[in-house]
Amino acid sequence: MGLNTFTAAVHITPVVIKTFLKHSKRKGQHFVDGDEEVATDDIFFDEAFHIVKAFLELGTENTLESFQSFTNTHVPAPPWAAVAPVLIPLKSCNNAADILINWFGPEELKDVVGGERWWQVRGLDGIEGEWITEKEYLSSSTPDNGKGVDWATKLIKQMDHLDSVMLYVPGGGYFFGSINTHRYQIIRYARKMHGRAFVVNYRKAPQYPWPCPLHDVLASYLYLIQPPEGTAHKPVDPSKIVFAGDSAGGGLCISALTVIRDMGLPMPAGAVLISPWVDLTHSFPSVMQNITTDIIPPHGFMAKPSPVWPIDPVPPPEGRVIRTTTSPPPKPGHADNLKSQDGADGVVPAGGHVESQREMLASGKDMVSSSSNGSSESPQDSSGSDQAGQSSGLQAGHGDGEGSETQEPSDSDRQTRSSTQANGQADTKTVETDDTDLKEPKPPKVLMHDPDEIPLELRAQIQIYATNEQLTHPLVSPILQGSLGNLCPLYILVGDAEVLRDEGIYLAHRAAHPDEYPTRQGALKEGRRQKENVEKFRTPTKVHLQAYDGMCHVLTVFTFTNSAKYAYRSIAHFIKHVTTSAREEVTLNPFPELQSPSTFDDEDDYDDPRRRRPRLQVVETTPDDAAGKTKVRPDIDSPTENNLYSRNKAITVKEVTRGLTDLMPERSDGSAQQSREDLPDVLMIRERIDIHGKVRPMEPKEELVALQLKPSEIGVIKEDPCRRWATGQVIWDKKFKRSAESVLRKRQKNEARALALLADARSQGLKLADDGSIVDLAVSPSRMSIPSGHREIQSDRRWGPLDLEYESPPPSAICKRRDTPEALALLKKSIYYTAPATHRTIPNLKMSQTIRAVFDTNDHTTQPPQQSGSEQQRMRHAPIHGISIWTGLLTLFMRKSSQKARDGRKKARDAAKDAHEKLPTSPSH
């Protein structure tokens, strides 16, 4: 049946009931034990947390395509929001592609990316996007008197007067999520910052892996600041734009910012990064420590096998993770130099000695030196045990499925390593040097806890977004950027209970203190720009870092919590401050908390959408609001988050005056810059937020575990995360064994259909420029065979699936596949409807093809076939969708939470009044 509203409701309803029944008992036990209050003591957060967690786990039980389609289904916006859909044109896409091509350079494009064409292939004629704001912010004037202007263009022009623009990049693990899953949050941002937001529905992996999403994010930025002719909106000044994104969206934002910096493009005013995913190797401790307290599935994002994913639905006989059988870095190559190696290099013959991790690291210099040349002989020991690489091998798919892939080394393995350990002692001393590159394993090998073990080796792609060889590229894992200096001001928010907490904290400190937190040497060694950037971009980036107690991944999802309410308010102030203040002022002070008076006055802001029309006003607000003495109409929400922001602002100012924040380095003359208010030139504000939304200074850097990691430990694949993924993959391989076998048969059928499609197209007159009949692409394409309607050879530069003969895209990329229904839809559209200029003709469809399209749910008889859910929104057929239900739940929780807060304040006032009345009166004299 796949993932849909019905299956989601069936799966999640028992979770809601179970959570409700357990909540009171657990909360009561906490009270009896005298435990500190935790975030899940709030019944609404407890329920919402488990709903989201259950939904994501349900997603792993279904195919990746159904997960994508469900989360990319169009749902209507609420009536108080103004939403205008657009399609970012190919011209903006091509401009962004040119920038990326220049950034990579020819060698990196070939060896790392796999070519310069494949990632520009798309099914749609542009990128889906949306302009969003509140209807009450629209200008009353109608452009061109409303004549000849469609409704979307009219809305966009009515937004043009709103200066502050948020460019939002939705998260979702780089493979799911969309405008629709985030629209509720984005409307809230637009309302609070009194501006407008532009959201990009970028292409997603695995059909469109890295760098496709990054390409689309850059294109959306260029679309805003350099709109092509005929675009509805006016050019937006970069100083009025703030990048924002959560999770994968946050990672894309920071990657895009580094490209903008490196290529000399105008930098936006700032960036808001919420739980950014910036280390795809999972090398930080919180990835394992916070599994139970986060919404992320325990084994990561598994998926039921389908034609799209995983690449190998049936695991290889030796398993997806094994004990390495090679001593030098194995095929397919090092993730640090990202160049494919000869598959024969380093393979140890049967009976040969496979080095332990200790031996590999001890011989690291030779290994690194030789591997950089792409050819080396592995050191072999003829006396090594025959079982060194076989008896201890991990046989994924064998055992009980509950960790059998983590077999202990056999006695013979230990004996073999013991015999070499004495000789390795001297070599080990060499490892403990300042050359951190010697300590870095080269993926797909895994860094082990026990240095005397033979390392694990990955035989399957572990991330959906990028291949194993690409995981340490600085635009895939931006935590490994040579420098994070010279960027726009960053506002980074992480949940203390989330798995990505540590990398968010480390990212913030790396940006603010480039010299204190250098990139490991291996990541600098082969990068075209990495070493250059270390020296070129040394100016610290100003950062505001906040860690929220008890909050999970992307805390802003839970809009009704006090933590999220403060986060939304604080983000709005940040955006308004950096987009409305002078550039010089923002350069000196990007922190609105240190600005007096406030950049913009807080208007009454209520979270209950039912009461937002008409706007209701607070009757009276006094300085005693903090004590619960706010006088409001009894039927509207109290603006407590405004008071909370003001209180936290005062605390932040105290942090600065007490020297609890990081300051900019002194100038060469020994003096420090001063702000207008005579406050020091603050470089970094580091704070924690409790579950009630109250600020306190973050502990010293020395007490943060994430900051104690050595550079050589960051951006490497480690044993624990690898075993966690492998355990989950074994379980999924067993659970969906029949489905995986069925997938292989489906792929064969799709390949046969693709061959038939191409044969039909050729027989109907398809001609390509590479055929030799027409060579000059500058000549206007012949339109003799182009029928009327939707069919057209594109005038803008565009590549199609038939233009990739010399390209080497990742194996999951849709552009060069012929074994999935989505790949067939892309191929058919590029041949019969929107052909690139390399196609000289557009053939006519056969009658048999039209008849087959009638019975194909993914096809259409007169229009282009629907494209992949990783790119194109789905139109819903059911009267209600799961995303709408979730939005309704958030609204309910918001209203109930506000009512609960009001009741609590009333009880507190009544109790204080009763206590005051019971006090003995003083005797009169």
Catalytic residue ranges:
247
Question: How many other C-beta atoms lie within 10 A of the C-beta of residue 583?
Answer: 10
Give the whole-angstrom CA distance, residue 729 versus residue 396: 8
Whether residue 244 contacts residue 462, with contact meaning beta carbons closer than 8 Å, is answered with no
Give the whole-angstrom CA distance, residue 916 versus residue 906: 15
- The tokens for 393 are 């091998």
- The tokens for 633 are 């109409």
Give the closest residue to 489 by CA, choosing from 599, 577, 596, 601: 577
Q: What are phi and psi of 146, to 5 degrees?
A: 75, 5
Task: Write the DSSP symbol of residue 110.
Answer: I
Give the closest residue to 468 by CA, choosing from 269, 313, 332: 332
Whether residue 231 contacts residue 71, with contact meaning beta carbons closer than 8 Å, is answered with no
CA dihedral 6, 12, 13, 18 (to 10 degrees): 170
Which H or E run contains 663?
Answer: strand 662-663
- The tokens for 524 are 């600098």
Give the closest residue to 777 by CA, choosing from 816, 835, 828, 827: 835
Where does 674-830 show beta strands of DSSP type E? 682-689, 695-697, 792-793
Owner of token pair 């031996």: 359
Write out the DSSP string of 17-47: HHHHHHHHHHHHHHHHHTPPP-GGGSHHHHH
In 592-688, where does DSSP find H-type helix?
640-657
233-236 contact pairs (CB < 8 A, 24+): 233/131, 233/156, 233/157, 233/159, 233/160, 234/160, 236/165
Give the closest residue to 310 by CA, choosing from 870, 732, 835, 703: 732
- The tokens for 203 are 């292409």
CA dihedral 639, 643, 644, 650 (to 10 degrees): 160
Task: Write the DSSP symbol of residue 109.
Answer: I
How many H-runs (helices) and E-runs (strands) does the chain carry? Answer: 24, 17
Q: Is cis: bond before 316, omega within 30 of 0?
A: no
Angle, nearest 10°, between helix axes 640-657 and 562-580? 70
Q: Which residues contact 527 (CB under 8 A, 6 or more apart)?
A: 473, 474, 482
Which H or E run contains 916?
Answer: helix 882-918
CA atoms within 13 A on the CB side of 772: 0
Which H or E run contains 16?
Answer: helix 5-33
Q: What are phi and psi of 839, to 5 degrees?
A: -90, 125
Give the whole-angstrom CA distance, residue 871 versus residue 208: 8
Give the whole-angstrom CA distance, residue 158 versus residue 136: 11
